[in-house]
Chain A
Amino acid sequence: MADVQLMGLLNATLQAATLLFIAALGELITEKSGILNLGVEGMISIGAVTGFMTAINTENLFLSIIVGVLSASIFSSIHAFVTVILKQDQTVSGLILTILGLALSSLLGKKYVGKKLMVKIESISDITEPSNVLEVLLNQNFIFYLAILLMITTSFVLKKTMFGRRLEAVGEDSRAADSMGLKINKTQFIATCVGGAFAGLSGVYLTLSYVPYWTDNMTSGRGWICLALVIFGGWKPYRTAIGAVLFGFLEALVPRLQTYGFDLSPYLVKIAPYLITILVLVILTIYKEGKTGAPGNIGRPFFRENR
Chain B
Amino acid sequence: MNKYILSKKTVVNDLATFYSFLIGLFIAFFIGSLILLIQDQNPANVFSLMLKLSVGSINSLSSSLNKAIPLILAGLGISIMNSVKLWNIGAEGQIFLGAIAVNLIYININISNSSLFIVILLASGFIGGAVCILFPAITKVIFGVNEIITTLLTNYIIIGLTIYLVNGPWKDPKSLNFPAAAYVGEEVYLPTIFGKLSSGFLVCILFVIGAYYLKEKSVFGYEMRIAGGSAMTAIYAGINAKQKAFYAMLIGGGFAGLAGAIELLSQTHRVSTGISQGFGYTAIIVAAITGMRPVGIFLVGCLFGALTIGGAVIQTIGVSSYIAEIIQASTLIGALIAQFFFTYEIKGVQDG
Contacts and interface: CB of A to CB of B under 8 A. Distances in A.
B25 interface: no
Contacts of B34: none
Nearest to A225: B156
Contact of A107 (B135, B282, B323): B323
A303 B5 CA distance: 12
B148 interface: yes
A92 B139 CA distance: 22
A267 B326 contact: no
A281 B144 CA distance: 11
A271 B281 contact: no
B54 interface: no
Interface in A121-152: none
Contacts of B148: 36, 38, 91, 299
Main secondary structure of the interface of A (DSSP, over half): helix
A145 to B, nearest CB: 30
B278 A99 contact: yes
Contact of A303 (B8, B150, B167, B326): B8
A104 interface: yes
B51 to A, nearest CB: 20
Interface stretch (B106-114, B119-127, B197-205, B328-336): B328-336
A286 B336 CA distance: 35
B195 interface: no
A107 B318 CA distance: 11
A24 B340 CA distance: 30
Contact of A271 (B139, B161, B339): B161
B312 to A, nearest CB: 13
Contacts, number: 128
Given A231-B149, A305-B7, A285 B164 contact: no
B160 interface: yes
A183 interface: no
A159 interface: no
Nearest to A78: B333
17 contacts: A38-B152, A88-B336, A92-B288, A99-B278, A99-B281, A99-B282, A100-B325, A102-B325, A107-B322, A274-B153, A274-B156, A275-B157, A281-B150, A282-B139, A285-B139, A286-B143, A305-B6
- Top 3 nearest A-B pairs by Cβ distance? A271-B160, A267-B164, A103-B325
Given A38-B89, A228-B153, 13 more contacts: A87-B340, A88-B337, A93-B336, A95-B89, A95-B284, A96-B333, A98-B281, A100-B325, A278-B150, A282-B143, A294-B146, A299-B148, A305-B8
